[in-house]
Amino acid sequence: MTMVAIFTGAGISTDSGIPDYRGPNGVWRQDPGAERLVTYGPYMADPDIRRRSWRMRLDGPVLGAEPNVAHRAIAAYERTSGNPLRVITQNVDGLHQAAGVSERKVLELHGSARSVVCTACHARSTMADALDRVRAGEDDPACRACGGILKSATVMFGQRLDPVVLGTAMSIAKATEVFVVAGSSLQVQPAASLAGIAAEHGARLIIVNAEATPYDPVADEVVREPIGTALPALLDRLR
């Protein structure tokens, strides 16, 4: 058996209708101002930023998105390969789980956009419920339990990754025999460093991404083909 870790970024979900962030047509390149709507300091300090952020989520594609062929290929690999698998994702869309990957096999580095959390009492509820409240006229819904500020249960810009989650990801990177990067520009640290950690600890590093990444020089294989065709073919080879 060969332990395989798959590290996924926004590029794996673009075929599900969710735009990436740093590609040529990425969200932050098209509308740099939108980044403030998901930056912790401005979000907490400015009610208008929060109102705009909730409106953005009303129109966002995440909750209605469906897994694509790449997500399904990973789920099929888990079911049929017989190899130990872990998925580490920068994505917050929940599409790996929706495709059928076991919850316990998916590590969400940046949290989940399908939930909201109170910044005061840490009570959690669903994003669907929060957006229903926005549609009903609450332009900045507060926590039902304590009245605190609600936010998406994701790691915003200006917030640190959960150290337990990051530590688990690092342990996986050190232990795995194959580390596949799928759809990540490997620009955001510390998450991007996992590719280097895996390579340093002897893993075969395979990068599947539309654009060059800083870790291409240390990769054993770099694939520039579309993820929807390249990843299923790669996983077939890794069986």
- We report the CATH number of the domain holding residue 142 as 3.30.1600.10
Indicate the pTM of the whole model: 0.91
143 is in an annotated binding site: yes
* 86 and 197 part of one domain: yes
**Predicted pLDDT of residue 25:** 57
The active-site residue, picked from 71, 96, 110, 201, is 110
User: Above 70 in pLDDT, residue 29?
Assistant: no
Number of domains in the chain: 2
Q: Which domain holds residue 50?
A: 24-60+113-154
pLDDT class of 60 with cuts at 50, 70, 90: confident
pLDDT tens digits for 201-218?
999 999 999 999 999 999
* 129 and 80 part of one domain: no
121 is in an annotated binding site: yes
**Predicted pLDDT of residue 23:** 56
User: Above 80 in pLDDT, residue 53?
Assistant: yes
* 127 and 173 part of one domain: no
pLDDT class of 61 with cuts at 50, 70, 90: confident
What is the share, in percent, of the chain residues with pLDDT greater than 70? 95
* 196 and 125 part of one domain: no
Confirm whether 201 is a catalytic residue.
no
* 124 and 77 part of one domain: no
**Cβ 82 vs Cβ 1: under 8 Å:** yes
* 212 and 231 part of one domain: yes
* 117 and 105 part of one domain: no
Write the DSSP string, the chain. ---EEEEE-GGGTGGGT---SSSTT-HHHH-GGGGGGGBHHHHHH-HHHHHHHHHHHHT-STTT----HHHHHHHHHHHHS-S-EEEEES--S-HHHHHT--GGGEEETTEEEEEEEETTT--EEEHHHHHHHHHTT-SSPBPTTT-PBEEEEE--BT-PPPHHHHHHHHHHHHH-SEEEEES----STTTTHHHHHHHHTTPEEEEE-SS--TTGGG-SEEE-S-HHHHHHHHHHHT-
* 146 and 239 part of one domain: no
* 120 and 228 part of one domain: no
* 139 and 50 part of one domain: yes
**Predicted pLDDT of residue 188:** 86
pLDDT tens digits for 168-210?
999 999 999 999 999 999 998 899 999 999 999 999 999 999 9
**Predicted pLDDT of residue 28:** 54
* 122 and 167 part of one domain: no
What is the share, in percent, of the chain residues with pLDDT greater than 90? 87
* 208 and 141 part of one domain: no
